[in-house]
Amino acid sequence: MSNSRGVDPTHRTFVSYIDKSREYYLARGYGNPYRWACFHEVPFVPLKPPLSQRVVTLITTAHEGVDAPSFRSAYSIPSEPAPTRLATDGLFWDRLATHTEDLDSFFPVHRLEEFVRDGRIGQLARRLHGVPTEYSQRKTIERDAPQVLRSCQEDGVEAALLVPL
Amino acid sequence: MCHQTVSLVARHLEAHGIATVILGSARDVVEHCGVARFVFTDFPLGNPCGKPYDVAMQRAIVGFALDLLESARAPRTTVQTPFVWTEDQAWRDNYMRIEPGGPSVSTS
């Protein structure tokens, strides 16, 4: 049975990618399901108000250039001028349903520039950042996250928007 | 997998004093990991900041994220945006669909 929007009320409304990927790879003969990161403790720091005086950066899983295999470490790009495109090859996103031709649909740098002009945000940080999507949680935690943190600290970043594909 | 990656990075930044918010479309992955703030848009993977070329929607979704940066008082705060991808919900089933003869949809 489905409602007016075609949603089956016997299932959760949003897609479970953990369930989908497990079943997909099990059907292909991979019987050792991926163990997704799961933590009970969650770090939290309040943003010191007001946002209109804070330095903000943007972090993506898209990569520079078009050659996905070369993208194996975190990188930084200037926020001024803003990039005009980033590559999404080799990443998991829904190629049947949509496309990534509009940068701001997954890396909203121009929308953030507008919010800076409007006075909603203090300023964009000097650099924006990319992190490689890794199956290895250890590589992200031990290699990439500390590198992004160091860059953010060097730039005086106080808040970050992170956008995965 | 991208959602897990940014969740891990966000946790690291948050633990070192930088406030974070994730804008994403894989709710289960982000909430399973556990992050400070999350703006969920129930779209196919690829456009978590709004439909391509829909500037008004993109501004609204980024605006939700900025609001959440300021308003969240505790970790694991999720806000769902009101946007609907299409009335036709077939995209939910089509991604990683398993056909009777085996998987048939390439995802990357």
Asked if residue A83 and residue A17 are part of one domain, the reply reads: no
A22: in domain: yes
pLDDT of residue A112: 98
pLDDT in tens, B53-108: 999 999 999 999 999 999 999 999 999 999 999 988 889 888 887 766 554 444 44
The answer to whether A77 contacts chain B (CB < 8 Å) is no
The answer to whether A119 contacts chain B (CB < 8 Å) is no
Asked if residue A28 and residue A57 are part of one domain, the reply reads: no
Query: Out of A23-27, A119-123, B30-34, which region has the weakest mean confidence (pLDDT)?
Result: A23-27
Asked if residue A125 and residue A81 are part of one domain, the reply reads: yes
B108: in domain: no
**Residues of the domain holding A7:** 1-36
B37: in domain: yes
Residues of chain A with Cβ-Cβ distance to B5 below 8 Å are: 61, 131-134, 140, 144, 164
B24: in domain: yes
Residues of chain B with Cβ-Cβ distance to A146 below 8 Å are: 12
A17: in domain: yes
Query: In the predicted model, is pLDDT for residue A72 greater than 80?
Result: no
**For residues A44 and A66, what is the distance between their CA atoms, to the nearest angstrom?**
35
pTM confidence score? 0.93
Q: Give buried/exposed letters for A120-146 (b at 16+ CB in 10 A, else e).
A: bbeebbbbbbbbbbbeebebbbebbbe
**Residues of the domain holding B24:** 2-103
Q: Of A77, A49, A37, A121, which Cα lies nearest the Cα of B62? A: A121
The answer to whether A130 contacts chain B (CB < 8 Å) is no
- Paired with A153 in beta bridges are none
Query: How many domains does one find in chain A?
Result: 2
Q: Does the ipTM exceed 0.90?
A: yes
Asked if residue A158 and residue A79 are part of one domain, the reply reads: yes
Asked if residue A88 and residue A10 are part of one domain, the reply reads: no
